[in-house]
Amino acid sequence: MSNNQTAAGNGEPRSVPHFLNGHTEAGSGSRSGDVFNPSYGTVQARVGLAEPALLEQAVAQAKAAPPAWAALNPQRRARVMFRFKELIEAELNSLAELLSSEHGKVVADAKGDIQRGLDVVEFVCGIPHLLKGEHSESVGTDIDVYSLRQPLGVVAGLPPVHLPAMIPLWMLAPAIACGNAFILKPSERTPSVSVRLAELAIEAGLPAGILQVVHGDKVIVDAILDHPDVKAVSFVGSSDIALYVYQRGAGMGKRMQCMGGAKNHGIVMPDADLDQTVADLIGAAYGSAGDRCMALPVVTPVGHETAERLRERLVAAIAKLRVGVSNDPDADYGPVVGAAHKARIEDYIRMGVDEGAELVVDGRGFTMQGHENGFFLGPTLFDHVTPTMRSYQEEIFGPVLQIVRADTLEEAIALPSNHQYGNGAAIFTRNGNVAREFAAQVQAGMVGINVPIPVPVSYHSFGGWKRSAFGDLNQYGTDSIRFFTKTKTVTQRWATHDDVIDQSFVIPTMR
């Protein structure tokens, strides 16, 4: 077990270090944050919250490192990424246990978190191909044009609390493979996995300074956004903060990629396979305690009969769910990440009741013997939710599923299309024409057809619409290569020795 790991949450809290210039560093700041074990509700670690001076140190070290790393031919950088992938795979179990102990998601789900990040590491192992430019021969007399993709220099990532391995890997793997140095500021509530990933990157052959981990709060976020040597920032979090980060960073001239909140919808047509649909909905709504940006918290059955049949089966399936501690192999989901987050979810449940929605299953008041202080919530189900309700309009981010009924397909498509968020939407049907119409019309960035959580594979890209994303380029896939590089276009002429010199004062053309 690494010195960054903990067993259960008992004993003296450990210290989570920063990772600078190839090694862990305690830092000298006086401020710190508590890292809880959500299954116990106890503090298991403390993480130092850096001041801007530490960021200055980290950026200076990163800035000094890129020339040698960027100058490596891309296949050698790919070899480091291959080795990085192998080392993560070898530690999958211990990384998953570390992750689940800080976030609360069950170990099996934590492994999925890591694996989806590994998919992107695997994708960027093809960086020699991904960095190939374009070439046009003889665009004019003896003139050729070609393009190069070159790294930006020092870039940064601000991942969220709920995906402590996947999102950091989505950010750092393309950035580093492209030849950049990367400053990672993980969530201060789930910080330890990022430190361990940095240690493994060094073991894989990454030069010191290329991957820096600096812990902190808004003080460090603002310092990153304001720092002139940080050329690009990738962010995932709530939409209000995503907009703030986007505007502040873009105002400093940085390239920005900011993913925000979501309220993903699943439309259930009368012809859907209800057994499969219910199984999909239960996993998508309640897996990871609903603490995913691609969770499915809204289901829209089309037609009264469909709604009644769906509700009956959902209630029966919910009754079979098992909530447990994060390391319980039989648990379907574990606690939420913190006491404040639990209270926020409970406030939304109370709000839904006050707004007139029917509370079919109430998850409040759930406790576990021996874990009375844990941050647990049982599954909650609402019916007869309407689009005017605030509990529908806002992101709850917990184990709460809302049924919003619709009479027609057109009415159902309008719900996600008119919502402030546009991350993902899914439809469950056996009708290909209906599915095609839905995919063409729904206003969301990622669409599932009989797929409840339509997170694209690593060689496509992840990104929502509307208030779910700010910036022009999506995460991972070829968009990530574009985001973390700048294009240089070269126009060249190699004239023969007997060419006549023709002086001209008009704008050059290739005619």
- Of 125, 178, 258, 293, the active-site residue reads 293
Tell me the one-letter amino acid at 241: I
Sort 25 into a burial class: Cβ within 10 Å, 0-12 / 13-18 / 19+.
middle
Quote the tokens at residue 403.
């049924």
- 126-131 contacts: CB < 8 A, separation 24 or more? 126/78, 127/74, 127/77, 127/78, 127/81, 127/177, 127/178, 127/481, 128/73, 128/74, 128/75, 128/78, 130/177, 130/478, 130/481, 131/74, 131/178, 131/481, 131/485
Q: Is 293 a catalytic residue?
A: yes
Q: Where are the alpha helices (DSSP H) in 20-51?
A: none
Which residue in the block uniquely carries the two structure tokens 């001041």? Answer: 51
Mode of pairing for the β-strands spanning 42-48 and 32-37:
antiparallel
* Of 81, 169, 84, 88, residue with least CA distance to 131: 81
C-alpha span between 227 and 214 (Å, rounded)? 14
Q: Is the dihedral of CA 423, 429, 430, 436 positive or negative?
A: negative
Could you write out the DSSP letters of every residue in 78-119? HHHHHHHHHHHHHTHHHHHHHHHHHH---HHHHHHHHHHHHH
Find out whether 484 and 155 touch, Cβ atoms under 8 Å: yes
Quote the tokens at residue 82.
């291959």
Local structure of 426: helix, strand or coil: strand
Q: CA separation (Å) from 250 to 150, 232, 258? A: 21, 9, 11
C-alpha span between 45 and 34 (Å, rounded)? 6
Quote the tokens at residue 498.
């007997």
- Ramachandran category for residue 179: left, alpha or beta (phi over 0 → left; psi -120 to 50 → alpha): left
Could you write out the DSSP letters of every residue in 208-258? TTSEEE---SHHHHHHHHH-TTEEEEEEES-HHHHHHHHHHHHHTT-EEEE
Give me the active site residues, please. 293
